[in-house]
């Protein structure tokens, strides 16, 4: 065990899913080397003493669904601006999605282009998802060997030409290719049917109800039925790690629960915005709320909360997917689909969870431990325990703030969270024993984030 150089103490430290008094020792490499119960006094002059007894000490969040869009659409976001936003909200690891940057992360050469763009620009640690598109099955295992944590595919038009949707046979091929690799295979689970064609809507496109009706619940249930059926027919169903990104429809929950009980290793996430907003409250032409799948009814939202408590949904992510303000204008059909909220998630979720009597420990399971598991990073990330990186959020659970332009640290300041009063303030964010954000000072000047490229464990 290497020698400790720093000691973090608080009366409320998240250890083993409970908030308890603890003292956390960290070595020069920024790793946790010892955790003792109780608050130890500052007696050892060789230890930098960090007294957070006034606050709660949590593991850094792992946001496993973020679109940083660089290179190629850097006017939409970027590694520097996006990871600064993450740092401001206690997110110490983000996993970048394969699409909306150009090129998409669908080949090793494309991944290297992205890594070149990311180098030296990241304020928190960044890992990468690859993409499955028609015809790139030979690229998948080489991408795993290069360090991508898993893959996302689309079962419906992705919105960008360079990331086409897959069909059932592409999915089957990808499942057989990825089984046993340790890389998780993820789905944007919406599938069109013969009755609904979102592109053909022409009347009242500025009404949210028109948009909602154009992407019905059945798009999600059809997609998940297809995933489950294809997985069950694959060569090695038990070797597959599957994940459904951004579940918005509660109608898929029974299908997911059944698949989970039938031994498919299929997890699913929802997003901060689906747990906060509801269709009844989206204003006319409120395109800052537009995302795909769409924000649905209030009753639907409450069923998503229940599914988190039941464990059918296990993670909550931002799906931060920005664009320029010009592209976000217009009606619900012409505007870009994507909600911006990177960095607000912990406060957003704690605001909603605390109203429902749900513990902060649960919130951290969904946003840190389980997202780290999904990306094959748990143990190093997502937990305060010996061997983990010393990534912390110093959180003031009871303080409140109103989201203004200054709280939107990402590049384009368009967000449905603007003007909302939130509970819980991030006082500090610490990445591998280095301070990367202080509430009154903002994000530090030097990017200290690393690119995570170790091969995922099979």
CB of 222 to Zn ion, least distance (A): 16
Q: Determine contact, residues 380/386, Cβ cutoff 8 Å.
A: no
Piece of the chain touching Zn ion by CB under 5 A; list 108-116, 186-194, 378-386, 424-432: 186-194
CB of 137 to Zn ion, least distance (A): 21
**Residue 26 in tokens:** 């960290």
What span, in angstroms and rounded, lies between the C-alpha atoms of 454 and 457?
9
What span, in angstroms and rounded, lies between the C-alpha atoms of 407 and 400?
13
Q: Which is nearer to Zn ion, 96 or 319 (CB)?
A: 319
Please report whether residue 320 would count as binding Zn ion according to CB under 5 A.
no
Q: Which is nearer to Zn ion, 170 or 427 (CB)?
A: 170
Q: Count Cα neighbours of 155 within 13 Å in the Cβ-side half-sphere.
A: 25
For residue 71, is the peptide bond before it cis, meaning its omega torsion is within 30 degrees of 0?
yes
CB of 187 to Zn ion, least distance (A): 9
Non-local (6+) Cβ contacts of 21 within 8 A are 10, 11, 12, 13, 37, 38, 39
Per-residue x/- mask for Zn ion, residues 345 to 384, rule CB under 5 A?
----------------------------------------
Please report whether residue 319 would count as binding Zn ion according to CB under 5 A.
yes
Q: What is the 8-class DSSP label of residue 456?
A: P
Q: What is the 8-class DSSP label of residue 375?
A: T
Q: Is 157 left (phi over 0), alpha (psi -120 to 50) or beta?
A: beta
Q: Which is nearer to Zn ion, 188 or 290 (CB)?
A: 188
Q: What are phi and psi of 189, to 5 degrees?
A: -95, 75
Ranked by CB distance to Zn ion, the top (closest) residue is 188
CB of 67 to Zn ion, least distance (A): 6
Please report whether residue 188 would count as binding Zn ion according to CB under 5 A.
yes
CB of 244 to Zn ion, least distance (A): 10
Count of positions on this chain that bind Zn ion (CB under 5 A):
2
Piece of the chain touching Zn ion by CB under 5 A; list 3-11, 28-36, 187-195, 421-429: 187-195
Q: Which is nearer to Zn ion, 273 or 428 (CB)?
A: 273
For 245-310, strand residue ranges (E) read 266-271
Please report whether residue 190 would count as binding Zn ion according to CB under 5 A.
no
Q: In the complex, which residues of this chain contact Zn ion (CB under 5 A)?
A: 188, 319
């Amino acid at each position: 065990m290497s020698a400790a150089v720093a000691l973090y103490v608080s009366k409320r430290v998240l250890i083993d899913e409970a908030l308890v008094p603890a003292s956390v020792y960290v070595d020069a490499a920024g790793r946790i080397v010892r955790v003792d119960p109780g608050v130890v006094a500052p007696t050892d002059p060789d230890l930098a003493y960090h007294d957070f007894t006034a606050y709660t000490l949590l593991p850094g969040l792992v946001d496993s669904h973020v679109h940083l869009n660089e290179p190629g659409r850097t006017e939409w976001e970027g590694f520097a601006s996006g990871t600064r936003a993450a740092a401001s909200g206690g997110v110490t690891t983000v996993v970048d999605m394969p699409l909306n940057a150009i090129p998409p992360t669908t080949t090793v050469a494309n991944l290297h282009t992205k890594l070149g763009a990311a180098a030296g620009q990241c304020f928190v640690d960044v890992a990468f998802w690859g993409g499955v598109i028609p015809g790139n099955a030979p690229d998948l295992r080489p991408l795993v060997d290069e360090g991508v944590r898993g893959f996302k595919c689309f079962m419906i038009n992705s919105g960008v030409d360079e990331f086409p949707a897959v069909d059932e046979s592409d999915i089957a091929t990808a499942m057989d290719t990825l089984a046993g690799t340790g890389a998780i295979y993820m789905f944007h689970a919406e599938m069109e049917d013969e009755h609904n064609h979102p592109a053909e809507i022409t009347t009242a496109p500025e009404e949210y109800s028109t948009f909602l009706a154009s992407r019905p619940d059945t798009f999600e249930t059809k997609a998940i039925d297809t995933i489950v059926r294809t997985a069950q027919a694959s060569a090695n169903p038990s070797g597959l790690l599957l994940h459904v990104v951004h579940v918005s429809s509660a109608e898929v929950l029974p299908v997911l629960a059944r698949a989970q009980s039938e031994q498919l290793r299929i997890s699913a996430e929802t997003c901060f915005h689906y747990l906060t907003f509801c269709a009844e409250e989206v204003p006319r032409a409120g395109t800052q709320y537009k995302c795909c799948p769409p924000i649905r009814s209030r009753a639907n939202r409450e069923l998503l909360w229940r599914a988190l408590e039941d464990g059918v949904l296990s993670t909550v992510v931002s799906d931060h997917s920005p664009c320029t303000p010009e592209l976000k204008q217009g009606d619900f059909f012409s505007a870009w689909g994507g909600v911006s909220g990177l960095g607000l998630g912990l406060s957003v979720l704690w605001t909603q969870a605390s109203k429902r009597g749900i513990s902060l420990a649960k919130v951290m399971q969904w946003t840190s431990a389980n997202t780290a598991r999904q990306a094959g990073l748990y143990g190093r990330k997502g937990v305060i325990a010996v061997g983990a990186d010393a990534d912390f959020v110093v959180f003031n659970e009871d303080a409140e703030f109103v989201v203004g332009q200054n709280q939107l640290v990402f590049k384009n300041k368009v967000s449905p969270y603007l003007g909302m009063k939130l509970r819980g303030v991030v006082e500090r964010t610490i990445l591998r024993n280095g301070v990367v954000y202080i509430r009154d000072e903002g994000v530090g000047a030097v990017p200290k984030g690393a690119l995570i490229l170790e091969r995922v464990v099979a």
